[in-house]
């Protein structure tokens, strides 16, 4: 599989066309907006907690196939996980998309492994990680509900 086909796998294209959890959550505990000022991509993540666990998570926004599918896959992957498990998954995910993971480790990533092709496209790392940074900010956000435009403007070096 060439790099381009590895980037735009069927899973990615499918989640781009039909993003999962692409909705607002009524009565969410947290809401964080993430922006990529370089390209104008924007994502809002809603989070509902049940104690220490992610009860529900969703997103909406505009972005490329990489950012949209990554957000979609993320919401499916972290639902039901504890905060600590979610943070661990974020760390692993970041390792994967920045090329710091072996193929064997990538095999443990479940459906998120489809985004492994991003590691060959350093310019697209920030697309893949945009929603994750918003989620992390939502998890770290203390007890307050974020309001519109309160979220951080997210940038990340490739």
Partner 1 sequence: MTRKSVRIRKSLALREPAKPVAAAPAATPPATSKPRTRRDDFPILAASPNLHYLDSAATSQKPRAVLDAMRAYYEHDNANPHRGAYDLSARATQRYHDARERVADFLGVVDAPTLIFTRGTTEALNLVATAWGRTNVKKGDELVLTGMEHHANFVPWQQLALEKHARLRICPLTADGRIDVDKLKAMLGRKTAVVAFSHVSNALGTINPVRDIAALVRDKARNAVIAVDGAQSAPHMHVHVDELDVDFFAFSGHKMLGPMGIGGLVGRRELLEAMPPYQMGGDMIEFVGDETTTWNVLPHKFEAGTPNVADAVGLAAACDYLDTMGIEKVREHELSLITLIIERLRAIDGVTLYGPADLSLRSGVVSFNVADIHPHDLSTVLDQEGVCIRAGHHCAQPLMRRLNVPATARASVYVYNEPADVDALVRGVVRAKGMFAHG
Closer residue to partner 1, CB minimum distance, 55 or 65 = 65
Using rule CB under 8 A, residue 38 touches partner 1:
yes
Does residue 116 bind partner 1 (CB under 8 A)? Answer: no
Strand order in the sheet with 41-50: 30-36, 41-50, 53-62
Please report whether residue 121 would count as binding partner 1 according to CB under 8 A. yes
**Under the criterion CB under 8 A, does residue 55 sit at the interface with partner 1?**
no
Which residues does residue 57 pair with via DSSP β-bridges, in sequence order? Answer: 47
The binder of partner 1 chosen from 6, 11, 39, 145 (CB under 8 A): 39
CB-based contact 43:71 (threshold 8 Å): yes
Residue with smaller CB distance to partner 1, 4 or 84 = 4
Q: Pick from 77, 81, 80, 61: which is nearest to 131 by CA?
A: 61
Number of residues in contact with partner 1 under rule CB under 8 A = 22
Q: Does 27 engage in binding with partner 1 (CB under 8 A)?
A: no
Applying CB under 8 A, does 127 fall inside the site for partner 1? yes
Residue (62 or 102) nearer to partner 1, CB:
62
The secondary structure element, H or E, covering residue 126 is helix 125-139
Instruction: Please check whether residue 120 is in contact with residue 151, taking contact to mean a CB–CB distance below 8 angstroms.
Output: no
Residue 78 to residue 84: CA distance in whole angstroms: 11
Residue numbers of the site for partner 1 (CB under 8 A)?
A: 3-4, 7-8, 13, 16-17, 38-42, 62-66, 68, 121, 123-124, 127
């Amino acid at each position: 599989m060439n790099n381009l086909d590895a980037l735009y796998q069927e899973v990615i294209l499918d989640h781009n066309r039909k993003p999962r959890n692409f909705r607002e959550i009524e009565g969410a505990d947290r809401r964080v907006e993430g922006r990529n000022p370089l390209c104008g991509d924007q994502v809002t993540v809603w989070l509902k907690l049940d104690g220490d666990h992610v009860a529900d998570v969703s997103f909406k926004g505009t972005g490329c196939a990489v950012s949209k599918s990554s957000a979609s896959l993320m919401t499916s992957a972290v639902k039901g996980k504890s905060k600590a498990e979610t943070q661990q998954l974020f760390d692993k995910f970041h390792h994967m998309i920045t090329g710091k993971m072996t193929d064997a480790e990538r095999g443990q990533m479940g459906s998120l492994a489809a985004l492994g092709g991003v590691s060959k496209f350093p310019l697209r790392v920030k697309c893949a990680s945009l929603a994750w940074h918003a989620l992390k900010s939502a998890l770290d956000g203390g007890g307050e509900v974020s309001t519109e435009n309160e979220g951080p403007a997210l940038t990340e070096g490739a």
